Homo-oligomer: A and B are copies of this chain.
Amino acid sequence: MKLTIYNTLSRKKEVFVPLHAPNVGMYVCGPTVYGDGHLGHARPAITFDILFRFLIHLGYKVRYVRNITDVGHLENDADSGEDKIAKKARLDQLEPMEVVQYYVNRYHKAMEMLNVLPPSIEPHASGHIMEQIEFVQKILDNGFAYESEGSVYFDVEKYNKTYNYGKLSGRNVEEMLESTRNLDGQSDKRRSVDFALWKKASPEHIMRWKAPWSQGFPGWHMECSAMGTKYLGAEFDIHGGGMDLMFPHHECEIAQSTAALGKETVKYWMHNNMITINGQKMGKSLGNFITLEEFFTGNHPLLTQAFSPMTVRFFILQAQYRSTVDFSSEALQASEKGLSRLMEGYTRLLKLTSAATSTEETAGLREKCEEAM
């Protein structure tokens, strides 16, 4: 049977043809571990868990890489501000890696409760600094980056002369470049559209490593380019993540990988849509999130009751993954009932099958179901 995937890059549904069947390489952006997982973290994990399981069901040997971001993700997702992990560590008077370990453990526990299979490899950004430095060096060697006061920035204008910056997100790079005036010494980068590949650490910044350019840390986007290609090769099949990561994160990742390796790294880009509350994206940085633990205990003012992990999973799966899901306690209650009905139906079906003498009709149903995927 054929699997059809909506490719964000082509904006079309495409028949899935792996680069090296029966092997499939899949990379999905995991959490930045400075707080408890919430509903917005559950959605990509569950979405790509379903894809992971379905690919295995189809007979593929899948290497599924989902990263842990534990360094380089600065406040506001931009090139300035404090590192999210380091800030949490400062507030809690802990070593940053204690913060990381604590939230990684809790994330794993929540994923297990949601019946999300662990990925094949779960690399940490902080554990791949060398690989990231080598990747930055390649981009510098190829002329698509420049060093400035110990930091290294990606030269978007230069890259865009050969390749297409904005191809994934559909942003108009000409407009972005035109609207970007010279930064007049307010920043060490040439244009605000440029992004950091390596940042020189300020004196108070404790998460730092030695690179040819400075004692510093990698830019946020760099880890995915370096770790994706390390474990899946210079070209791999699927890259997934939340739609909010499309720009700048995935756009920058494409630019980095293309600038370093001279070719497209990812064949199929897939993005799940957001969970909203009253129409606004649910996110830690927005402060309007409900943690998974709060769902499981019911301990949140917006929740009328506790919801089982399987209800949360079913709630997320009831919507097509590219549609938004608006959260409400009522919607979850409806999911709870729906799941209960589904399980009753499934139990009845099991009894039916064992009583039937012909399997022809159920086999037809299976085909129909697989076609619909």
Given contacts A126-B127, A127-B127, A127-B128, contact A121 B97 (CB under 8 A): yes
- In Å, the complex CA distance between A184 and B56 comes to 53
Nearest opposing residue in chain B for A129, CB measure: B130
- In Å, the complex CA distance between A95 and B97 comes to 26
CB distance from A86 to the nearest CB of B (A): 15
Q: Mark A85-97, 1 if CB is under 8 A from B, else 0.
A: 0000000000101
> Does A181 count as interface, using CB distance less than 8 angstroms?
no
Given contacts A127-B124, A128-B127, A209-B130, contact A118 B105 (CB under 8 A): yes
B130 near A210: Cβ-Cβ < 8 Å: yes
Residues of chain A in range 126-153 having any CB-CB distance to chain B below 8 Å: 126-130, 134
Q: Mark A101-137, 1 if CB is under 8 A from B, else 0.
A: 1100100100000000011111110111110001000
From B63, B95, B134, A95 is in contact (CB under 8 Å) with B63
A101 near B130: Cβ-Cβ < 8 Å: no
> Does A98 count as interface, using CB distance less than 8 angstroms?
yes
Q: Mark A219-236, 1 if CB is under 8 A from B, else 0.
A: 000000000000100000
Nearest opposing residue in chain B for A61, CB measure: B93
Interface size class of A (residues with CB under 8 A): 20 to 34
A122: which B residues are within 8 A, CB to CB?
Answer: 101
B134 near A120: Cβ-Cβ < 8 Å: no
B231 near A95: Cβ-Cβ < 8 Å: yes
B121 near A95: Cβ-Cβ < 8 Å: yes
A95: which B residues are within 8 A, CB to CB?
Answer: 63, 120-121, 231
Nearest opposing residue in chain B for A125, CB measure: B127
- In Å, the complex CA distance between A120 and B97 comes to 8
Nearest opposing residue in chain B for A104, CB measure: B122
A108: which B residues are within 8 A, CB to CB?
Answer: 108
A127: which B residues are within 8 A, CB to CB?
Answer: 124, 126-128
Nearest opposing residue in chain B for A97, CB measure: B121
Residues of chain A in range 51-74 having any CB-CB distance to chain B below 8 Å: 63
Q: Mark A12-34, 1 if CB is under 8 A from B, else 0.
A: 00000000000000000000000
Q: In the complex, which of the residues A121, A123, A134 has the most CB atoms of chain B within 10 Å of its own CB atom?
A: A121
Nearest opposing residue in chain B for A128, CB measure: B127
- In Å, the complex CA distance between A12 and B258 comes to 61
Given contacts A118-B105, A134-B210, A210-B134, contact A97 B128 (CB under 8 A): no
- In Å, the complex CA distance between A373 and B100 comes to 32
A209: which B residues are within 8 A, CB to CB?
Answer: 130
A123: which B residues are within 8 A, CB to CB?
Answer: 97
A102: which B residues are within 8 A, CB to CB?
Answer: 120
CB distance from A98 to the nearest CB of B (A): 5
Q: In the complex, which of the residues A124, A128, A130 has the most CB atoms of chain B within 10 Å of its own CB atom?
A: A130
From B63, B98, B124, B130, A130 is in contact (CB under 8 Å) with B130
Nearest opposing residue in chain B for A122, CB measure: B101
Given contacts A127-B127, A130-B209, A210-B130, contact A98 B118 (CB under 8 A): no
From B63, B97, B128, B134, A231 is in contact (CB under 8 Å) with B97
Nearest opposing residue in chain B for A127, CB measure: B127
CB distance from A103 to the nearest CB of B (A): 12
Name 23 A/B residue pairs within 8 A (Cβ), A-sorted.
Answer: A63-B95, A95-B120, A95-B121, A95-B231, A97-B121, A97-B123, A97-B231, A98-B120, A98-B121, A100-B121, A101-B118, A101-B119, A101-B120, A101-B121, A102-B120, A105-B118, A108-B108, A127-B127, A127-B128, A129-B130, A130-B209, A130-B210, A134-B210
